[in-house]
Amino acid sequence: MSAELKTGAAAEAVGRAPDREAGGRRPAAWFSRAVLRNGPLGGLAALVVVMAALSKDFLNGQNLLNVGVQASVTAILAFGVTFVIVSAGIDLSVGSVAGLAATVVAWAATGQGLPVWIAVLLGLAVGAGSGLLSGALVAYGKLPAFIATLAMLSVGRGLALVISGGSPIPFPASVSRLGDTLGGWLPVPVLVMIGMGLVAALILARTYAGRAMFAIGGNEEAARLSGIHVKRRKLVIYALSGLFAAVAGIVLAARLTSAQPQAATGYELDAIAAVVIGGASLSGGSGKASGTLIGALILAVLRNGLNLLSVSAFWQQVATGLVIALAVLLDTLRRRSTR
């Protein structure tokens, strides 16, 4: 009997050993999952703490508002790019489309004497139309998104230079108010950024178009077999990206009080970086507007803090590249952890 009791106790101890071992690993596993899921927000918080410790001017109220203004154009562009990346695409044209849309608004209102509201609608239509053309090349022309939007990048920038003659065009004063502040302290670009972010979040979470984006990004063939008209959805996706780019271009021109044909050059890379840093997967099927906003804020905080520390612009590019590489690495680890 004693031997049997010893054997049973031993078996029970052996049976419990894996549970204790698993329990010991559970906190570490939970922590790693939490870091991967909330990495962008944690990264932003850590970056703010570091910059505040290194520069006493960083947490100044006016400087924090400047960070918001600096992030606004990139964030608005990135909200549109989020739609494309969620659907497993890419849009390299948003910077050029932003410059083209702003140039069209200034040309129509200042050069042609059209009513300002018509000029603004024309600029928005140009942005959406540019995205629609890119979407048509991708969906119906079977061009890779990289090539189609790269072509639109060149076309958009070239048209902006042709329309403007290569020179800045004064922006309508009424539209330039988008670059002002309310009450002397609240920047209008920040309000526009928040508004466009809410629109993007609503589209992604509450509309059929948003659900279709995730379905196409997750598995395009499965989405097609489930009844989603993939080609039409891609037209909508790229048109939305172009529309958001037009809004970003108008906000940027309002801040500058003129439409400059070379404005927003390189912003497409910042927009893509903001989406990826914010947790979206380049392979498609995941992404959030809130994450994209955090990604844009991380880029703005990083550059603002480095400027306060008088770091060379060349080293700032190095730092930005390292942050992007880290974000992609976290994305890879996150996808592996979900398999």
Which residues touch 261 (CB under 8 Å, ≥6 apart)?
99, 103, 157, 160, 161, 163, 164, 166, 167, 168
Which residues touch 271 (CB under 8 Å, ≥6 apart)?
74, 77, 78, 80, 81, 94, 95
Residues 52-65 have pLDDT tens digits of: 999 999 999 999 99
User: Could you give the percent of the chain with pLDDT greater than 70?
Assistant: 87
Say yes or no to pLDDT of 34 above 80: no
Q: 250-253: long-range contacts (C-beta < 8 A, 24 or more apart)?
A: 250/101, 250/102, 250/105, 250/120, 250/123, 250/124, 250/175, 250/178, 251/72, 251/73, 251/76, 251/178, 251/179, 251/189, 251/192, 252/73, 252/98, 252/102, 253/102, 253/105, 253/106, 253/171, 253/175, 253/176
> What pTM does this model have?
0.88
- Residue-level pLDDT at 171: 94
Six-digit token pair at 299?
A: 């880029």
Residues 225-263 have pLDDT tens digits of: 999 999 999 999 999 999 999 999 999 999 999 999 999
- Residue-level pLDDT at 330: 75
- Residue-level pLDDT at 42: 86
293 pLDDT band, cuts 50/70/90, is very high
- Residue-level pLDDT at 21: 43
Question: Residues 200, 171, 293, CA angle at the centre, nearest 5°?
Answer: 25
User: Picking from 198-202, 209-213, 328-332, which range would have the lowest pLDDT averaged per residue?
Assistant: 328-332
Across the chain, mean pLDDT equals 89
The answer to whether residues 264 and 98 touch, using CB atoms and an 8 Å cutoff, is yes
Give the residue among 26, 71, 98 at the shortest CA–CA distance from 248: 98
Mapped onto helix, strand or coil, the DSSP state of residue 169 is strand
Comparing 12 with 294, which gets the higher pLDDT?
294
- Residue-level pLDDT at 10: 45
- Residue-level pLDDT at 337: 67
The answer to whether residues 287 and 281 touch, using CB atoms and an 8 Å cutoff, is yes
Which residues touch 13 (CB under 8 Å, ≥6 apart)?
none
Residues 207-225 have pLDDT tens digits of: 999 999 999 999 999 999 9
320 pLDDT band, cuts 50/70/90, is confident
36 pLDDT band, cuts 50/70/90, is low
Say yes or no to pLDDT of 32 above 70: no
Give the residue among 293, 302, 291, 325 at the shortest CA–CA distance from 73: 293
Comparing 282 with 98, which gets the higher pLDDT?
98
User: Could you give the percent of the chain with pLDDT greater than 90?
Assistant: 77
Mean pLDDT, rounded, for 126-135: 98
Work out whether strand 181-182 and strand 169-170 pair parallel, antiparallel, or are unpaired. unpaired
- Residue-level pLDDT at 303: 94
Mean pLDDT, rounded, for 279-292: 92
Give the residue among 217, 211, 223 at the shortest CA–CA distance from 284: 217
- Residue-level pLDDT at 192: 97
Residues 81-109 have pLDDT tens digits of: 999 999 999 999 999 999 999 999 999 99
Residues 6-29 have pLDDT tens digits of: 444 444 444 444 444 444 446 555
